């Protein structure tokens, strides 16, 4: 679904049908440690770009709202793990790299 910031995001949900005014981030909403989500957070959220750059099916992302300098600003922070290697993915746009090694052509001859 297209976010208020104009990007496609599979975690965004809205419903304006029959007088409803529902907007949700189903990624941040499932993190009880996070602050409250607002539609304006989509504007600087890295998730759409990450999912566009890396479609690895074993990468799992979490996100929360983090406070910025003096608590005046808020941003979406992302934490990603590889569910196959059970390791943190430090660069979610790239992945952990283990699948690249498994799928690399062998140089044997």
CA–CA separation, 55 and 61 (whole Å): 12
Q: Which residue, 21 or 102, is less far from ligand SF4 as judged by CB?
A: 21
Interface with ligand SF4 (CB under 6 A), residue from 34, 47, 80, 92: 47
For 87, half-sphere exposure in the C-beta direction (CA atoms, 13 angstrom radius) is: 10
51 binds ligand SF4 (CB under 6 A): no
80 binds ligand SF4 (CB under 6 A): no
25 binds ligand SF4 (CB under 6 A): yes
Paired tokens of 5: 């910031």
45 binds ligand SF4 (CB under 6 A): yes
Task: Please give the backbone phi and psi of residue 98, each rounded to the nearest 5 degrees, phi first.
Answer: -70, -35
Q: How far is the CA of 106 from the CAs of 94, 95, 99, 103, in angstroms?
A: 22, 21, 14, 9
For tokens 């990603």, what's the residue? 80
Q: Which residue, 27 or 96, is less far from ligand SF4 as judged by CB?
A: 27
Stretch that binds ligand SF4, among 37-45, 52-60, 92-100, 101-109 (CB under 6 A): 37-45
> Using CB under 6 A as the criterion, which residues of the chain lie in contact with ligand SF4 when the complex forms?
3, 9, 11-12, 25, 27-28, 41-42, 45, 47-48, 63, 76
């Amino acid at each position: 679904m297209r976010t208020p910031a104009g990007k496609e995001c599979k975690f965004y949900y809205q419903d304006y049908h029959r007088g409803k005014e529902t907007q949700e981030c189903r990624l941040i909403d499932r993190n009880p440690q996070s602050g409250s989500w607002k539609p304006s957070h989509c504007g600087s959220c890295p998730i759409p770009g990450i999912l566009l750059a890396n479609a690895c099916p074993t990468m799992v992302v979490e996100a929360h709202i983090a406070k910025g300098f003096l608590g005046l600003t808020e941003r979406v922070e992302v934490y990603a793990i590889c569910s196959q290697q059970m390791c943190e993915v430090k660069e979610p746009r790239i992945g952990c790299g283990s699948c690249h090694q498994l799928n690399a052509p062998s140089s044997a001859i």
